[in-house]
Structure 1
Amino acid sequence: MPGPKKLDPSSSPRALLGAELRYARERAGMTQEALGAPLFVSGAFIGQLEAGTRRMQREYAVKLDEILGTAGFFGRNCDAATKSKYPDHFAAAAEAEAIATAIKEYAPQLIPGLLQTRAYARAVFYAYQPTATDDVIDQLVEARLERAKLLSDPTTPLFWGVLDEATLRRQVGDTTVMAKALGHVADLMRRRRIIVQVLPFHAGAHAAMGGGLKLMSFSDAPPLAYLQGAGSGQLLDDPASVSQHELAYDLLGADALSPRESLALIEQLAEDYDHETQQP
């Protein structure tokens, strides 16, 4: 029987690596739980590696080669599967996001990356890195817009966002940038491509005061939660932790305006920004 082929980094390295792991595990007659035990990880973690929702770290790759007798395959190809154009703290979340069937995101300060326009994203990155060259900013913007192509499909993934009112009122770039940014969100809502609710200031204290939250669901793997801070992020797969953040998101939705009310507010603010742009 021919051995597994070397990964092509230009295709989907993580997905291919996961498929090879599933093949090798089943060939060895092992369950996910049995394979996870010597690595001190759960069977669910092995399932996430196989589904491509988790990165395979080198320490795991080497151990898997030993257990499954794969002659160094995972160790050799691990680097290809972990290369990313995203910052280290966000890379795993971005790659999981790309294969998610549903994404729920609470945005406390900025319009979510998947919904940003080019000009808005550029203003954000200049604020993050005020001394960066135009080439660096261009690369960051293009990577963000590439992520946004997820919404090019008319139905998948489901995107449901809860935007704090601050995301609408905090001026990123000039008023023209804001008018077009909010207009873009409103257009996606009107086309029924996304669901968005606005969490108004008068809602007061809420269940996600600590920062941004992203929940991701998959067709063949357990859900993940991603917590984002300033230049940092944490991807969680523990079922109890994920359930806790799912509840927090549900509570946010209960406190937020309805999608219809949210659309009206977003469009009104877009008009306000546009009106300011036209003032002499």
Structure 2
Amino acid sequence: MANGSRQAAWEFFGAELKRRREEAGFTQVELGTRVFVSGGYIGQFEQAIRKPQLDVAQRIDEVLQTDGFFERLWRKLIKEQPYTEYFAHAAELERLATEICEFAPAVVPGLLQTREYARSVFLASNPLAPDEYIEELLKGRMDRTRLLKDATRPRYWVILHETVLRIPVGGPSVMAHQLEHIAALARERKALVQVLPFATGAHPEMGKMMWLMEFEDAPPTVYTEAVLSGNLLDEPAVVKRNRTSYDHLRAAALSLEASLALIESAAEDYRRCASTT
């Protein structure tokens, strides 16, 4: 399903939600209270600005007595989109964000990945998958990277642990190209990139990725990911705590200039290694 068709389908979801809510005699606030979200969220669902999570769609069915209609529609829309189910909501919100702050402890973030690097990551996770499946994953990943090329791109601040620079994903040539790509984005001011060096030692997010998103007309959200699972959290106290952790990481990381120099030095090392093999 193309992006435009998928958006139209979510707009249908929203229009049906509004129609059935009004038929049941609920305001947005009243329905929100019953399904444990704010009335503002119900409004954003109805306008297809934000997509509900599965448990919310299920509770809407229960409250509006719609016999599983919204759950079935949700499952169809999520199934036909190019991302895994647990990441799908984060990918949708990514397009709406005005600012994204990300911490990557081991792997280059998806928004920064080159095609060759992404292929190596997908093959490592899916060693027996057919080429067609890997290509489908690559298409979704490369579609995401276009976000940083848009004129309306969000302000993107990323902190890479030095581990990201040192793990030779795909081999020296792939890594050289990947790090050169990151350096180019930094030089073109399409991303603010810092490196958290090994010398920092212990830090607030040991081994955990973190992804904070800010929006124009919605509360901030934090996304965290584990093995085959992801969590979108917007409870204010949780977001505040993660924002504080990110600020600590930013303070401990190398400056933008020193980070760029380290990235370019690592790229040169990989390039030199590639030329001798």
TM over 0.5: yes
Counterpart of 1:46 (choices 38, 42, 52) is 42
1:108 and 2:109 aligned: no
What is the one-letter code of the residue matched to 1:11? Q
Q: 2:31 aligns with which of 29, 35, 53?
A: 35
CA shift, 1:166, in A, is 0.3
CA distance in structure 2 between the aligned counterparts of 1:130 and 1:271, rounded to whole angstroms: 29
The separation in 1 between residues aligned to 2:245 and 2:43, in whole angstroms, is 26
Q: 1:89 aligns with which of 86, 90, 103?
A: 86
Which of residues 224, 236, 241 in structure 2 aligns to 1:239? Answer: 236
CA distance in 1, matches of 2:96, 2:242: 20
2:190 matched residue in structure 1: 193
Report whether the alignment pairs 1:173 with 2:170: yes
> 2:86 & 2:69 partners in 1: Cα distance?
26
Contact 1:108 1:164 survives alignment (8 Å) = yes
Q: TM-score, normalised by structure 2?
A: 0.86
Q: Which one of 9, 13, 16 corresponds to residue 9 of structure 2?
A: 13
SS at match of 1:11: helix
Give, as a single letter, the amino acid of the residue that structure 2 aligns with 1:201.
F
Q: Given the two structures, how large is their TM-score scaled by the length of structure 1? A: 0.85
Q: Superposition pairs for residues 100-139 of structure 1, below 5 Å?
A: 100-139=97-136
8 Å contact from structure 1 (residues 121, 144) kept in 2: yes
Select between 177-186 and 27-36 the one with higher mean Cα deviation: 27-36
2:214 maps to: 217
> 1-side partners of 2:19 and 2:221: how far apart?
24
SS at match of 1:123: helix
Cα deviation for residue 78 of structure 1 reads: 3.7
Q: Is the 8 A contact 2:58 2:70 kept in 1?
A: no
Change beyond 3 A, Cα 1:153–1:132: same
Q: Which residue of 2 aligns with 1:4?
A: none
Question: Which structure 2 residue ranges, 5 or more long, are not aligned?
Answer: none
Work out the CA distance in 1 between the residues paired with 2:250 and 2:141: 26
Q: Which amino acid aligns with 2:126?
A: Q
Tell me the percent identity.
46
Paired residues, number: 270
Cα distance, 1:196 vs. partner?
0.7
Matched, 1:144 2:141: yes
Bigger mean CA offset, 176-185 vs 234-243: 234-243
CA RMSD of aligned residues (A): 2.7
2: CA distance, partners of 1:152 / 1:40: 37
Q: Is the contact made by 2:34 and 2:63 (CA closer than 8 Å) also made in structure 1?
A: no
Could you tell me which amino acid in structure 2 is paired with residue 59 of structure 1? Q
